[in-house]
Chains A and B, each alone.
Chain A
Amino acid sequence: MPKRVAILTTIYRYLSHAQHMGDRLLIGYPLHGRWHKPDLQVVSLYVDQKPKGDQSEERAREFGFKVYPTIAAALRQGGEKLAVDAVLLIGEHGEYPKNELGQVLYPRYEFFKQCVDVFEKDGRSVPVYNDKHLSYRFEKAKWMVDQSRRMGFPMLAGSSLPVTWRLPDVEIPLNSEIEEALMVGVGGSDPMDYHALEAMQSMVERRKGGETGVKSVQLIDGEAVWKAGEDGRWSKRLLTAALSRSDSPQGLSLTDGRPQDLVGSGELRKLVKAPAAYLIERNDGLRTTLLMLNGAVRDYTFAARVKGQGIVSTQFFLSPVPNVTYSACLVSKIEEMYVTGKAPYPVERTLIVSGALESCLQSRHKGGEKLETPHLAVRYRAPKLSQHMRG
């Protein structure tokens, strides 16, 4: 019997996360050189909003499931008791307000809480995947993770960046001594900085001693970013290494196709009108920095200084639209949890990133003030293999 899946989402429209992830459960997806058809059956769907282009009813008709008016009804397939074996919770896209920190208030916690209510009432719980970060608010995010621990149901969350292809295909060996790490990202806050932070987290969590939690954060922007680089608060050498992995330098490369040493030539500062640096210090002393460099590049790259290995750098490959095959990498991990009952990597990765991002945005809100973050003492161990796509 295939496992029964409920999809709970904000919207289901072409190229929304629910569409490209949900559809993979319905029609299969490319995996290891095959068209893989998961042994799963989507039995119910809840959509919070039905904007123009909504596909929920159309999918339900074609694939023989129902769209339910509430989360509880979707989980119970309209009956009295929990009637699914797994939950795909996608709170991304749709019209939701933003708060003063600039966070979109996607109702992931609210959806999750309704799942937990049903689990408790019905005396059974099932694996839950939560797309992207947990709640925008750390307390809520932590509550989500705590419930999965308390009730003992497997939980997975996060972005596809940690599991997509890497160019080159590098894996930092577990228990390496990472001396410093830097990530380059682009796009808006808070969707895209989150992806970049989680990509970086999937690398630095492999360090000796494991993740020890975030000690402090500071989000600075504008001229202060460059000054922080001059002051050695982030490494220009690592930035050069990360950008050497980019396929999309802007400026002169756009004009005439030439490769560029954006740092060495000084072009970087001309191209990036509004840089932002997310300076994140860990409890074990590790410095990790995310530089959001809109205008300089259009891809996501990483570099770290690793003892005995020199500088390790790579690009997290976001494959082209519309296939976005990186989401197939993620769906294969979600499916693995549904089938085995074990999350292939710890949800704490996403928890710490959710919290670090929120604190960074608070820092920005306070004019770039450095914030101590004792609440982010999230400790965990990375899986033996980081599980990015390499087969």
Chain B
Amino acid sequence: MITRRQVIAGAPLLVSAAPPQRPKIAAICTTYFQYSHSQHIVDRFLIGYGWNGEHHKPPMDLVSLWVDQVGEKDLSPSRLKEFPSTKGYPSIAEALTLGTGKLAVDGVLLIGEHGRYPRNEKGQRKYPRYEFFKEIVKVFESSGRAAPVFNDKHLSWHWPWALEMYETSRRLKFPFMAGSSLPVTWRTPSVEMPDGARVREALCVGYGGVDSYDFHALETVQCMVERRKGGEAGVEWLHAYRGENFWKAMAEGVWSKDLMEAALCRSHTLKPSREGFNNDFPTLDSMRRLMKDPVAYVYQHSDGLKAAILLMNGLVQDFNFAARIDGRREPFSTQMYLPMPPARTTLANFFTPLVNNVEQMFLTGNPTYPVERTLLTTGLTAAGVDSLHEGQKRVETPHLAKIAYAAPKQSTFWRT
């Protein structure tokens, strides 16, 4: 029995050394409508998914579900009816204790994406990931036991809170994973950044908005560059460019044109710039015509590596990576492929490898990739917002400058 004093002193909580044969999982969600992250993730636990040529059912039971905002089109009521062994609970604590007063699950899904939450003055959507996490930790602490947690997408929008989430997981020593599906989805081509590569510059050409898809682009870059020689070292500063400043930065070579072009040549969704052509490479003039409000975050790692993400809305609708690596004449490039519904597919199957990685953590107690990746990209996302908010000034990021970690030997992207 762990005393309250020990908890306050920050003694690690007990995570059962050998996870149970069939873990019980709780899902804590903001909302659960079709194509929401909760639907993609929780459904895969409830129903299973295609994996390695089978319909794979995770060897665990999703026993409880808590949804913060149940809207008109919410699927959680019908899912609860359809899967009676999953129970809905009125609070996070009860979903974790199953009404017993003590932690009664072996893994927690924290999905704080989608739903009606206000934006702050910087435009950040205040998804309550930190708040949910606090509730979860409260149960861990009062129970003297913790369980692995997966946090979908970035940690809190508010850096001190994000850091606190990370530090809490370290202090209480429970397995913690987070992030986007971009690092784990299919790649076309199916290539791996060589372990220990000397990466000179890296970028992602992606799309989407600030404080949303920028995070996916940052994770795209990070899952690749973290494999470089010396491992991840942290990030010293970030400079965001938007609109006219984007074009100016591009003209000045703030990021390498050849890397940008390599990434664009990996796109499957390059908007044709001329009528009657289905797949042409845009000139600078046509890029200017096609792209709406482009955004770039350019940032420098503590070991000198320069990286950038380019949100090229109007030009592409996919995430493409390119890097300059010593020993290669041509840029190293690939696409992180998202089979995105509803236009092209019915299943957002990029959630499949994400769920599979989370499942492995629930089964073994070992995260398959370090949460420091997402701690860093969380900080970069917020720094991007700050830089834009402060008039597109370069922002120093001393709080990110020492986030150093080693990448797993094998990256965990989908290739089987």
- A271 smallest CB distance to B (angstroms): 12
For residue B49, CB closer than 8 A to chain A, the reply is yes
User: Given A35-B265, A168-B186, A313–B347 Cβ distance below 8 Å?
Assistant: no
Type the 1/0 row for B263-282, where 1 means its CB is closer than 8 Å to any CB of A: 10111111010001111110
**CA distance in complex: A306, B49 (Å):** 23
Q: Which residues on B sit within 8 Å (CB–CB) of A257?
A: 34-35, 39-40, 43, 341, 346-348
Do residues A247 and B345 form an inter-chain contact, with CB atoms below 8 A? yes
Instruction: Write the chain A residue with the least CB distance to B56.
Output: A244
Which among B39, B53, B267, B339 is the interface contact of A247 at CB below 8 angstroms?
B339
For residue A245, CB closer than 8 A to chain B, the reply is yes
**CA distance in complex: A303, B50 (Å):** 13
Choose, from B151-159, B162-170, B330-338, the stretch at the interface: B330-338
Type the 1/0 row for B311-344, where 1 means its CB is closer than 8 Å to any CB of A: 0000000000010000000111110010101011
- State the majority secondary structure of interface residues on A: loop
- B389 smallest CB distance to A (angstroms): 34
Do residues A58 and B276 form an inter-chain contact, with CB atoms below 8 A? yes
Q: Which residues on B sit within 8 Å (CB–CB) of A167?
A: 186, 337
Do residues B339 and A323 form an inter-chain contact, with CB atoms below 8 A? no
Instruction: Write the chain A residue with the least CB distance to B350.
Output: A247
- A25 smallest CB distance to B (angstroms): 12
- State the majority secondary structure of interface residues on B: loop
User: Given A23-B278, A253-B346, A259–B53 Cβ distance below 8 Å?
Assistant: no
Q: Which residues on A sit within 8 Å (CB–CB) of B55?
A: 240, 244, 261, 263-264
**CA distance in complex: A317, B188 (Å):** 10
Do residues B50 and A320 form an inter-chain contact, with CB atoms below 8 A? no
Do residues A303 and B47 form an inter-chain contact, with CB atoms below 8 A? no
Instruction: Write the chain B residue with the least CB distance to A243.
Output: B50
Q: Which residues on A sit within 8 Å (CB–CB) of B188?
A: 165, 317, 389
Do residues A20 and B278 form an inter-chain contact, with CB atoms below 8 A? yes
User: Given A244-B53, A257-B39, A259-B43, A322–B272 Cβ distance below 8 Å?
Assistant: yes
For residue A249, CB closer than 8 A to chain B, the reply is yes
For residue A279, CB closer than 8 A to chain B, the reply is no
Instruction: Write the chain B residue with the least CB distance to A327.
Output: B279
For residue A390, CB closer than 8 A to chain B, the reply is yes
**CA distance in complex: A240, B53 (Å):** 7
Q: Which residues on A sit within 8 Å (CB–CB) of B40?
A: 257
Do residues B345 and A248 form an inter-chain contact, with CB atoms below 8 A? yes
**CA distance in complex: A35, B279 (Å):** 11
For residue B239, CB closer than 8 A to chain A, the reply is no
Most chain B C-beta atoms within 10 Å of own C-beta, residue among A30, A241, A258, A311: A258
Type the 1/0 row for A149-169, where 1 means its CB is closer than 8 Å to any CB of B: 000000000000000010111
Q: Which residues on B sit within 8 Å (CB–CB) of A58?
A: 276
For residue A288, CB closer than 8 A to chain B, the reply is no
Do residues A325 and B349 form an inter-chain contact, with CB atoms below 8 A? no
Do residues A322 and B262 form an inter-chain contact, with CB atoms below 8 A? no
User: Given A14-B278, A33-B330, A325-B279, A259–B48 Cβ distance below 8 Å?
Assistant: yes
**CA distance in complex: A74, B268 (Å):** 33
Q: Which residues on B sit within 8 Å (CB–CB) of A313?
A: 53
Do residues A323 and B270 form an inter-chain contact, with CB atoms below 8 A? yes
Q: Which residues on A sit within 8 Å (CB–CB) of B47?
A: 258-261
Do residues B50 and A245 form an inter-chain contact, with CB atoms below 8 A? yes
Do residues A258 and B330 form an inter-chain contact, with CB atoms below 8 A? no
For residue A231, CB closer than 8 A to chain B, the reply is no
**CA distance in complex: A35, B261 (Å):** 8
Instruction: Write the chain B residue with the least CB distance to A20.
Output: B278
For residue B189, CB closer than 8 A to chain A, the reply is yes
For residue A256, CB closer than 8 A to chain B, the reply is yes
Do residues B48 and A28 form an inter-chain contact, with CB atoms below 8 A? no
- A28 smallest CB distance to B (angstroms): 7
Which among A240, A250, A254, A312 is the interface contact of B54 at CB below 8 angstroms?
A240
User: Given A33-B266, A261-B48, A165–B279 Cβ distance below 8 Å?
Assistant: no
**CA distance in complex: A321, B415 (Å):** 24
28 contacts between A and B (CB under 8 A): A23-B277, A23-B278, A23-B280, A30-B270, A33-B263, A33-B266, A34-B330, A35-B261, A35-B265, A165-B188, A244-B55, A247-B345, A247-B349, A254-B346, A255-B34, A257-B35, A257-B39, A257-B43, A257-B348, A259-B347, A264-B55, A310-B53, A320-B268, A320-B343, A322-B272, A324-B278, A324-B279, A390-B189
A27-B281, A244-B52, A310-B53 known; 19 new pairs, CB 8 Å cut-off, are A20-B279, A29-B279, A33-B263, A33-B333, A34-B262, A35-B281, A169-B189, A247-B339, A254-B346, A257-B341, A258-B43, A261-B48, A264-B55, A303-B53, A313-B53, A317-B188, A319-B268, A323-B278, A328-B279
The 6 A-B pairs with the shortest beta carbon distances in the complex, nearest first, are A244-B50, A261-B55, A33-B333, A241-B53, A247-B345, A169-B190
